[in-house]
Structure 1
């Protein structure tokens, strides 16, 4: 039997840091190593993988196709390694952890995981920021947030750990009457919301008139507006409430374009507390079902 190749976690950690921080110098500063030492570790990893992992265009470093494939494995291997270490170093879990959740997507099961984490780790201060997904991505890039769940504009995104699909559906109060000769009364989050864009796109394509009658940043306000019969909107099955019904194509409401939602974080900058929270969020996602997958497969 041929000997299996082991990928050392220190090499994988360096590789992740170079990609996510954008260079050997920044990775070295974070990991406490010189730039030549970082370059040597990357070369050693490339020897083990038997493929180039990084390419450079000007000052920009990007993973090669082999590097992209390795990156998903590396993130998961380092996450599991750090989760195991964190289990035996529980006293290290202190500090502030900044989490971003989208206003245009209901993440009830994630909120339960976050609440449970807070109760089990009283020395960790949680700061939860709800915003539009595009803003959350910007905050993560700027290091203003540590972990985010956000709708993804592209199938491949930096710092992506998990992705899953969501199918928005048209939602209305049970007593809603669809009057074809009148504009569709829409309820939506503010401009920039992915659900809002999908509703408008679908109605414009179907050549149905519409008007925004309710705008609000929170999911509960939008749900109440629907229940009160003020408007129709796009929700997911998880956010449909008793007293609501789904509208379909037979009533003049064309299918809405699916969404891709992701769990994203910068592993090199994450604390022990952040690593544990990510592991709990991943466990919550995996329990949802087959629609949730590691990225890429």
Structure 2
């Protein structure tokens, strides 16, 4: 039998805490250990990996390629470990959870998932903040949120636990026809919205004229604008309403670029209630059609 290497959860918890909190001393304060003890655990973890996992750049801690891979696995291992521990502890789940949701994503679907969790745990109080993804992640970084759903880009992957690909679709009112040759009226969120950017990029690339006929930050107003025939918009299948129809290349509309969406949280700052909510969200996404993509790194999913 091959020699199996065991990655102890205490080592992985130290590693995730160091990365999420950005310093050995802060991780030690949360875990109740001295800085030398934290450093010793990190060296032990590197011995198990067989390569460096963190490098120092000034005052910042940066992950090596091996560290990035290990971090993805470590978050998943700790998430499952803490779910099991919480289950067998049988403690009553209670407290306040502060959740950030983006304006320009399937807010209705995610709100339903999160409020379903609250109904199952009457001791939980929810504080939901909706805003732009960049603002949401800034609030998470400042400990003003416990967990967040936000758009992912290559510069903003800190605290990322799970991600999936969303493919926006063109939506218009049933019975209303738009001729791309005449220019397209758009219903869109304000500038800064990833969906607005995808629409403009696609139309510009196809040399189709466009104008913004409706602008609003709320998803409800955007949906009403589409249903009432004010313009077309880029939505998700979760935000399509009765009275809407899908537009595609047969209607003269170019395909929209995919968007990567992620679930973010600081593991060492998250309560048992928060860990259970993370697992609840992931389970509901799985049920909704999230499937693993072996071509992507662990924890990265593809939403068909």
Same fold (TM over 0.5): yes
Partner secondary structure for residue 66 of structure 2: helix
> Are the aligned partners of 2:28 and 2:35 in contact in 1 as well (CA < 8 Å)?
yes
C-alpha change, 1:63 and 1:92, in structure 2 (3 Å) is farther
> Are the aligned partners of 2:98 and 2:129 in contact in 1 as well (CA < 8 Å)?
yes
Within a 5 Å distance, the mapping from 1:1-297 to structure 2 comes to 1-91=1-91, 93-154=93-154, 157-180=157-180, 182-291=182-291, 294-295=298-299
C-alpha change, 1:46 and 1:236, in structure 2 (3 Å) is same
Cα distance in 2 for partners of 1:227, 1:150 equals 26
C-alpha change, 1:256 and 1:296, in structure 2 (3 Å) is closer
- How far residue 251 of structure 1 moved from its aligned partner, in angstroms, is 3.3
Q: Residue by residue, what CA displacement relative to the aligned partner does 1:209-260 show, whole Å, maximum 9, x if unpaired?
A: 2221211122222111111111111112222222212222343321111111
- How far residue 2 of structure 1 moved from its aligned partner, in angstroms, is 3.3
Cα distance in 1 for partners of 2:155, 2:285 equals 18
Unaligned runs of 5+ in 2: none
- How far residue 120 of structure 1 moved from its aligned partner, in angstroms, is 2.0
Cα distance in 1 for partners of 2:67, 2:113 equals 32
- How far residue 280 of structure 1 moved from its aligned partner, in angstroms, is 0.7
Partner secondary structure for residue 134 of structure 2: helix
Q: Which moved more, 1:94-103 or 1:112-121?
A: 112-121
- How far residue 58 of structure 1 moved from its aligned partner, in angstroms, is 1.2
Q: Residue by residue, what CA displacement relative to the aligned partner does 1:2-47 show, whole Å, maximum 9, x if unpaired?
A: 3422211111100001111111111111111111010011111112
**TM-align CA RMSD:** 1.9
> Are the aligned partners of 1:69 and 1:296 in contact in 2 as well (CA < 8 Å)?
no
Cα distance in 1 for partners of 2:267, 2:199 equals 35
Q: Which moved more, 1:187-196 or 1:106-115?
A: 106-115
Cα distance in 1 for partners of 2:84, 2:264 equals 20
Cα distance in 2 for partners of 1:117, 1:292 equals 24
C-alpha change, 1:103 and 1:156, in structure 2 (3 Å) is closer
- How far residue 206 of structure 1 moved from its aligned partner, in angstroms, is 2.1
Q: Which moved more, 1:84-93 or 1:268-277?
A: 84-93
Unaligned runs of 5+ in 1: none
Partner secondary structure for residue 91 of structure 1: coil
Cα distance in 2 for partners of 1:234, 1:69 equals 33
- Report the TM-score when normalising by structure 1: 0.93
